[in-house]
Amino acid sequence: MKEIFLKKLENQLGLTRSDPTSFMFVKALAETASELIRTEWNGTEKTIREEKLRRVYYFSAEFLTGRSLRMNLMNMGLWESAGELAASYGFDLLELLEEEPDSGLGNGGLGRLASCFLDSLASLKLPAMGYGIRYRYGLFSQAIEESRQREKPDAWVDKGDFWGVERPDDFRKIYIGGHVHMSQDQKGKLQFRIDPSEVIHAYPFDYPITGADGKNIGTMRLWEARSPQGFNLDLFNREEHIPAWSDDDQARSLSAVLYPTDQGVKGKHLRLKQQYFFVSASLQDMTERFRRDFAGDWQKFPEQHVIQLNDTHPVLAIPELMRLLMDREGLPWETAWDICTRTFAYTNHTVLSEALETWPVTFIHDLFPRIAMIIEEIHKRLENDLSARENGNSYRIIRNGLIHMAPLAIYGSKSVNGVAALHTEILKDSVLKDWYAVYPDKFNNKTNGITHRRWLIHSNPDLTALIDRGIGKEWHGNPEMLSKLADLSGDSAFLEELKNIKDRNKEKFSRYLKKETSIETDPSSLFDFQVKRIHEYKRQLLNILNIAGRYLDMKDFPGREIQPRTFFIGGKAAPGYFIAKEIIFMANRVGETLRKDPLCKGKLQLVFLPNYRVSMAEKIFPAAEISQQISTAGKEASGTGNMKFMMNGALTMGTLDGANIEIFEKAGKENNYPFGLDTPGVIEARSNYSPGEFLSRNAGAARILEAFEKGVFGPPEDFAPLLGHIRHNDEYLVLPELEAHRAALEATDRGYADTMSWQKKSLLNIAGSGYFSSDRTIGDYNRDIWHLSPLGSSPK
């Protein structure tokens, strides 16, 4: 290793310098790891190909990887040597890791789930490949200026992509726009030829996914868009520099930016092009490899491949595979359709109707005319299949000039899954009820999970060491064995150690925050977190209003004893989501008011964490004592942050929503703080609710809103948009649940006062968290949908 490293470092340094900067050092270290990974990686790819192993292809518009150096060094067994190398140059390896750019090619839960899945697939030695887009700009970085969110581009590629390996020989051509020419061959069979108005080249970059012991290396293949002809040399020679680059810039713009919204956008041609771009490139890749290796025996395609669609974003893959099989390979419709419906599987991540994807038929016609023809034919055949059904309308793929992506996904897939038990039930009995009636066997649940390697072993080494001392190390490979910790719940020395580790992690987080943001916090206070994308349904507003209420109580009764508590709220708002941005503004304003009031010192603080991202999350979970998961019941499909908190010993203060329900089951309700309306309760409460009338009867809620309107938190007019909104349109029942949320906060304060019983609850949460490892989730997908054999399991 050292030899390779010195070579790489020499390359970094060039001729003029002798002392590496920390960035150069890290880059050289990553390149060293890369080179050592390469051998194993080639081996994995070779085995899959030679043994003709069935493989899952995870199609996702987002992969929220975060940093990789620590995981890769540890998985490859290079951690110790890397530490020594660093020390010999006077560096601290842990500090060096902070120099790696945090790869944020995703918005939130859905993108992070994709990355956790790739980690588990590699660790379980299952043959897999992730396919997506190599955005040049990941999710924007968030700054807070004058209490408001400001977005700045995240140019992660420019800072240095440590891991991507370019494969220029595997580029694919993507046709956009133009016309379809139909002709007949000698046998009278219809032929389709696309005469495109635009051709884009897709260049693949491969990223290694090192499994737990570095023996099976998975692949994430991300596509980058380029112009086929590069820049225009003729224009350049005529000194027309800007026009000379315009074709290339336009082509590259296709993979330039991740859309920064996690609910979908309307009317954006570029987004639709991105989706088609990456699925077309990926399917051409797969079909061409298959043609080479299987001599075009297409019946075998579904035996060799299963494609998991991460939401509807990659759903154009269904008509695109139809096109490739029919127009390129000459298969008849029926055969092609049969192959598709045996290959695809679809995961739904939302019940919010505004988030279900639709695209105008005209867009698809203009951008992908051949795909439009195929979707129309699928639509017609679906109409025929289901003509006898009532409610025929809800099945239609094309309705009111819009293509509905979920119906296309369901019809073209063999499996449809939700991401938590409650979510799947809601799909079956309301959102997709009619579909469930026709295809009950397609529907199944796969409760989400998170990789315990990143989210516990690597981000909380002290807790990991304690667990190892308590129950041994076997749980690293079999996380459900964490349940053995329950045997130690009466061991006061062990609980004491658990507390000490949490205290140390809180201090560490405090120091990190001070360094990153210059915000000071008191690690002896209770650390309470709500970190996730900002959304009305996630109800950050509920949290903020009760923090404001707590402050008003303190002012009214300054002598009253109170549990010192620090509330942390973090998350990004979609740049076009006005109300979400107003919520960030309010959080910051309340935070500032508390900070300025000496009454709050050592008792009550609200910190808005700027630029919440994977690398910050890794420092948050180990330091958390309360995890707030307070979405309106029925709205959060699953949540996955909730699992990361639980696994690090935080107690959940949450509603009966998404995976919270399963968390309460596995860790015990009595060890957590469930509160609020359940899903039927929400529907019932909403049916006769008017915020105005509610406020006239509820002095507690009215008092908090009025404090803002009286200027307690700064100029009242600043809050007028948000408060005006909530007074008239409280779709997510913030006001009616204020009281239940306040009561839950108080219950946690009381619970926290009994230190040892709190630690016991914390331990029982960790003990129950093994189920939420993505290893379990991947095992479930494999058992029910994928049916893959691990590498090394087939007899030679």
Amino acid identity for residue 737 in this structure = E
Give the binding range for ligand 26Q (CB under 6 A) out of 165-173, 197-205, 349-357, 594-602: 349-357
Catalytic site residue from 70, 305, 379, 538: 538
CA-CA distance, 94 to 516, in Å (whole number)?
A: 16
Name the residue among 634, 676, 682, 669 with its Cα closest to residue 655: 676
Q: Is 415 in the site for ligand 26Q (CB under 6 A)?
A: no
The two three-digit tokens of residue 783, written as one number: 């058992």
Q: Name which of 134 and 313 has its Cβ closer to ligand 26Q.
A: 313
Nearer to ligand 26Q, 115 or 216 (CB): 115
Which of 262, 327, 536, 618 forms a contact with ligand 26Q (CB under 6 A)? 262
Q: Which stretch binds ligand 26Q (CB under 6 A): 258-266, 559-567, 597-605, 701-709?
A: 258-266
- Applying CB under 6 A, does 419 fall inside the site for ligand 26Q? yes
The binder of ligand 26Q chosen from 154, 357, 497, 528 (CB under 6 A): 357
Look up 532 and say whether it is catalytic: yes
268 assigned to active site = no
Binding status of residue 640 toward ligand 26Q by CB under 6 A: yes
CB-CB contact of 756 with 492 (8 Å):
yes
> 348 vs 525, which CB is nearer to ligand 26Q?
348
> What's the N-to-C CA distance of the chain in angstroms?
32
**Distance in angstroms (rounded) separating the CA atoms of residues 3 and 123:** 28
Nearest Cα to Cα of residue 638 among 112, 66, 138, 62:
112
> Which among 258, 264, 220 has a CA at the least distance from the CA of 130?
220
| Footprint of ligand 26Q on 447-466 (CB under 6 A) | 448
Asked if 110 touches ligand 26Q (CB under 6 A), the answer is yes
Q: In this structure, which amino acid lies at residue 512?
A: Y
Please give the residue whose beta carbon sits closest to ligand 26Q in the complex. Answer: 109
Strand pairing of 402-404 and 398-399?
A: antiparallel
In angstroms, what is the minimal distance from the CB of 220 to ligand 26Q? 18
* Greatest Cα pair distance in the chain: 94
75 forms part of the interface with ligand 26Q (CB under 6 A): no
Shortest separation between residue 183's beta carbon and ligand 26Q, angstroms: 36
Considering only 4, 13, 265, 552, the residue that binds ligand 26Q (CB under 6 A) is 265
Residue (462 or 784) nearer to ligand 26Q, CB:
784
Distance of CA 11 to the CA centre of its chain: 36
CA angle 455, 461, 467 (to 5 degrees): 90
User: Is residue 132 at the binding interface for ligand 26Q, with CB under 6 A as the rule?
Assistant: no
User: Position of tokens 């820049």?
Assistant: 231
User: Is 657 a binder of ligand 26Q (CB under 6 A)?
Assistant: no
Rounded Cα distance, 787 and 353, in Å: 32
* Nearest in space to 118 (alpha carbons), one of 108, 130, 127: 130
**Given 27, 271, 349, 572, the catalytic residue:** 349
- The answer to whether residue 674 forms part of the interface with ligand 26Q (CB under 6 A) is no
Dist. CA 79–CA 222, nearest whole Å: 27
- Which candidate in 358, 464, 521, 640 is catalytic? 640
Establish whether 640 is a catalytic residue: yes
CB of 407 to ligand 26Q, least distance (A): 16
Using CB under 6 A, pick the residue from 259, 443, 713, 752 that binds ligand 26Q: 259
Please, which of residues 361-380 interact with ligand 26Q by CB under 6 A? Answer: none
Residue with structure tokens 């789930």? 113
Tell me which residue has tokens 């999350």: 617
Contact 552, 546 (CB under 8 A): no
Q: Interface with ligand 26Q by CB under 6 A: which range of 107-115, 333-341, 462-470, 520-528?
A: 107-115
Of 479, 654, 658, 691, the residue at the interface with ligand 26Q (CB under 6 A) is 658
Which residue, 512 or 537, is less far from ligand 26Q as judged by CB? Answer: 537
Closest C-alpha to 643, from 211, 120, 116? 116
Q: Which residue has tokens 């590498």?
A: 791
What residues numbered 1-20 form the site for ligand 26Q, per CB under 6 A? none
Contact 277, 255 (CB under 8 A): yes
Q: Is 264 in the site for ligand 26Q (CB under 6 A)?
A: yes
Q: What distance in Å separates the CA atoms of residue 364 and residue 381, rounded to the nearest whole number?
A: 19
Active-site annotation holds for 538: yes
For the bound state, the minimum distance from the C-beta of residue 155 to ligand 26Q, rounded and expressed in Å, comes to 21
Q: Least CB distance from residue 654 to ligand 26Q, whole Å?
A: 13
- CA of 212: how far to CAs of 119, 125, 388, 480, in Å? 8, 9, 52, 16
CB of 19 to ligand 26Q, least distance (A): 44
**Between residues 113 and 331, which has the closer beta carbon with respect to ligand 26Q?**
113
Instruction: Give the nearest distance from C-beta 123 to ligand 26Q in angstroms.
Output: 19
Number of residues that bind ligand 26Q (CB under 6 A): 24
Q: Whats the size of the chain, residue-wise?
A: 796
- Shortest CA distance to 368 belongs to which of 228, 134, 201, 174? 174
Q: What is the DSSP letter of 450?
A: B
Of 109, 211, 407, 449, which lies in the binding site for ligand 26Q, with binding defined by CB under 6 A?
109
- x/- track of binding to ligand 26Q for residues 179-218 (CB under 6 A): ----------------------------------------
Smallest gap from residue 378 Cβ to ligand 26Q (A) = 20
Residue 372's contacts (CB-CB under 8 Å, 6 or more residues apart) are 361, 364, 365
Active site residues: 349, 532-533, 538, 640, 644
Binding residues for ligand 26Q, rule: CB under 6 A, are 107-110, 113, 259, 261-265, 271, 313, 349-350, 357, 419, 448, 636-640, 658
